[in-house]
């Protein structure tokens, strides 16, 4: 499902972050992308999502080549992808409800089903009471949960999660961890989760890729 | 060599800018043609918002400006050209000055001041907040959701504003002609109609299309080029105003040269 060959990444300021990355993830597979802050996890996830081009290398998602190429534009309408951003990522001029519903509407889901799925996702993460507020009017934790609710409603085939617990209040940790564990164990989804440490996911039988500042090393399953 | 490089840098930057603009237009047209029927409602909602902001909310400003401009044009004409029979040239003056040139041009200037700046600032802030990336990462094509609605919205709004600008300016001119020189509405309209030629309609439509496109894509390009910090937002807004104004005046000159020279 995800195929990465000889990938090199740069930071936004042009600093080299990683080089020679290879990754082959089968459909339904999951990967924990581990490494300390600043080693390039977020940048790697953005390259996989098709929003940032790599310096060199080739990326294919579900057989569609994104790099070199048009990135996420090549996937639109062909592969359903989702991204839980570490921070931000919500449209500031729309309510949480509209943020959750927009990718569904654009994917051609009927209005009734869009409403029902958005409602269910917002309810699952305790956001119904603030669903009609815009992102600036809710807490950082609720914004992060809205990011999660958006992919829960969209049900993407490929899900990229950047630091799932960053900014989430301690009281909501269990909710996010439970949701992510369900998704990791779902054979219909392919997941890449960026984390500093495996932490609450350490016991799951998933592949891990450790990113150190330059030399990457992939651990066996 | 360094001197030559410095000399060539602005030319290279300009060519890169033109390339970016052409890429934005081509991609917007390409993805616009690929819009599915079930996506039209979502895109139409964004178009409505853009028309409301660019057109409806600027309506009074444009009409007020045009009314005064039409009135002032004929006040000056009657004052300065009274000995030359200005009364018999009122239609020609209004068509030459207002309908042919200042109507589309001043409307574009007002839209640059109100809407192009807003588009650049909005897209720049969205880019900084990762909102554009978030759209793309969830299958929402930014060309279809952000650029196409802004282009169509500005196009429709500028067309409507030019029509209202011309109408208001003619009304302002008529008020002066009527109360200062006793010209009746019939005489005034006949005079305007006699001065109009079919080419004027073509020129106006061409200008509306080219001005709207220049305004939208200059604003989008400068807004989306923001990458690093909030301080780039006002810089992008300033660049948008300057480059869109230059583009609009250039297009205006070219249209006049091709159609009237």
Domain spans of chain A, in order of start: 1-79+157-221, 90-155
Is B130 within 8 Å of A89 when comparing Cβ atoms?
Answer: yes
Chain A residues near any Cβ of chain B (below 8 Å): 12, 46, 49-52, 71-73, 75-77, 80-83, 85, 87-93, 102-103, 105-108, 150-151, 154, 156, 160
Instruction: Express each pLDDT in A69-119 by its tens digit.
Output: 999 999 988 999 999 998 888 999 999 999 999 999 999 999 999 999 999
User: Could you identify the residue written with the tokens 């009274």?
Assistant: B82
A48 phi, psi to nearest 5 deg? -65, -35
Contacting residues of B for A148, CB less than 8 Å apart:
none
Q: Residue B116 and residue B58: Cα distance in Å, rounded? A: 13
Query: How does pLDDT run across B84-129, given as a tens digit for each residue?
Result: 777 778 888 899 999 999 999 999 999 999 999 999 999 999 999 9
**ipTM reported for the complex, 2 dp:** 0.91
As a whole number of angstroms, the distance between CA A81 and CA A19 comes to 25
| C-alpha distances in Å from residue A68, one per residue of A44, A47, A71, A191, B183 | 15, 11, 8, 22, 69
Q: Which residues of B touch A67 (CB under 8 A)?
A: none
Residue B35 has pLDDT above 90, yes or no: yes
Q: How far apart, in whole angstroms, are the C-alpha atoms of residue B151 and residue B216?
A: 6
Paired strand residues for A208: A32, A219
Tens-digit pLDDT profile for residues A142-198 = 999 999 999 999 999 999 999 888 889 988 898 999 998 888 888 889 999 998 888
Inspect the interface and report whether the beta carbons of A108 and B36 lie closer than 8 Å: yes
Give the tokens for residue A128.
């119904």
Mention every residue, 6+ apart, whose C-beta is less than 8 A from residue B150. B46, B50, B119, B216, B219, B220
CB pairs under 8 A between A and B: 86
Please indicate if any CB of chain A lies within 8 Å of the CB of B135.
Answer: yes
For A172-190, letters b (16+ CB in 10 Å) and e give beebbbebbeebbeeeebb
Contact of B133 with chain A, judged by CB distance below 8 Å, is answered with yes
Where exactly are the structural domains of chain B?
2-260
* Tokens found for residue B57: 């909310």
Assess whether pLDDT exceeds 60 at residue A52. Answer: yes
Whether residue A90 and residue B131 make contact (CB cut-off 8 A), yes or no, is: yes
Pick the CATH number of A1-79+157-221 from 3.40.225.10, 3.40.50.300, 3.20.20.150, 3.40.309.10: 3.40.50.300
Burial of B186 (0-12, 13-18, 19+ CB in 10 A): exposed
- Give me the pLDDT at residue A219, please: 53
Nearest residue in chain A measured CA to CA from B127: A89
- Residue B6: pLDDT band by 50, 70, 90 thresholds? confident
């Amino acid at each position: 499902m995800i195929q990465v060959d000889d990938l090199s990444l740069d930071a936004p300021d042009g600093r080299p972050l990683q080089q020679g990355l290879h990754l082959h993830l089968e459909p339904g597979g999951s990967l924990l992308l581990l490494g300390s802050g600043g080693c390039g996890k977020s940048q790697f996830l953005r390259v996989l999502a098709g929003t940032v081009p790599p310096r060199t290398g080739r990326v294919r998602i579900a057989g569609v080549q994104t790099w070199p190429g048009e990135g996420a534009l090549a996937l639109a309408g062909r592969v359903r992808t989702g991204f839980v951003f570490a921070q931000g990522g919500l449209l500031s001029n729309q309510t949480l409800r509209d943020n959750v519903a927009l990718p569904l509407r654009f994917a051609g889901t009927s209005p009734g089903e869009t409403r029902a799925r958005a409602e269910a996702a917002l309810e699952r993460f305790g956001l119904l009471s603030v669903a009609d507020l815009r992102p600036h009017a809710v807490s950082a934790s609720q914004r992060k949960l809205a990011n999660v609710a958006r992919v829960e409603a969209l049900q993407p085939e490929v899900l990229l999660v950047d630091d799932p617990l960053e900014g989430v209040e301690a009281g909501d940790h269990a909710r996010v961890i439970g949701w992510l564990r369900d998704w990791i164990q779902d054979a219909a989804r392919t997941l890449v989760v960026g984390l500093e440490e495996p932490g609450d996911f350490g016991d799951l039988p998933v592949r891990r890729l450790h990113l150190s500042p330059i030399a990457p090393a992939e651990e066996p399953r | 060599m360094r001197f030559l490089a410095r000399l060539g840098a602005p030319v290279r930057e300009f060519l890169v800018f033109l390339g970016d603009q052409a890429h934005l237009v081509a991609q917007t047209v390409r993805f616009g043609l690929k819009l599915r029927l079930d996506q039209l409602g979502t895109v139409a909602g964004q178009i409505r918002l853009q028309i409301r902001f660019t057109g409806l909310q600027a309506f009074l400003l444009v009409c007020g400006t045009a009314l005064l401009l039409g009135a002032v044009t004929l006040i000056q004409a009657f004052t300065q050209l009274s000995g030359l029979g200005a009364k018999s040239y009122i239609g020609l003056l209004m068509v030459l000055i207002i309908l042919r040139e200042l109507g589309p041009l001043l409307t574009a200037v007002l839209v640059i001041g109100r809407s192009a700046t807003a588009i650049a600032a909005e897209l720049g802030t969205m880019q900084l907040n990762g909102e554009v990336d978030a759209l793309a990462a969830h299958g929402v094509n930014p060309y279809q959701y952000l650029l196409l609605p802004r282009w169509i919205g500005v196009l429709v709004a500028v067309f409507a504003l030019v029509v209202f600008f011309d109408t208001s300016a003619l009304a302002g001119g008529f008020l002066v002609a009527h109360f200062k020189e006793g010209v009746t509405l019939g005489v005034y309209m006949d005079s305007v109609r006699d001065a109009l030629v079919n080419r004027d309609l073509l020129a106006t439509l061409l200008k509306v299309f080219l001005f709207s496109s220049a305004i939208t894509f200059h604003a989008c390009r400068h807004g989306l080029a923001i990458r690093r910090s909030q301080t780039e937002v006002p810089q992008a807004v300033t660049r948008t105003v300057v480059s869109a104004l230059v583009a609009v005046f250039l297009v205006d000159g070219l249209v006049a040269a091709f159609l009237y020279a």
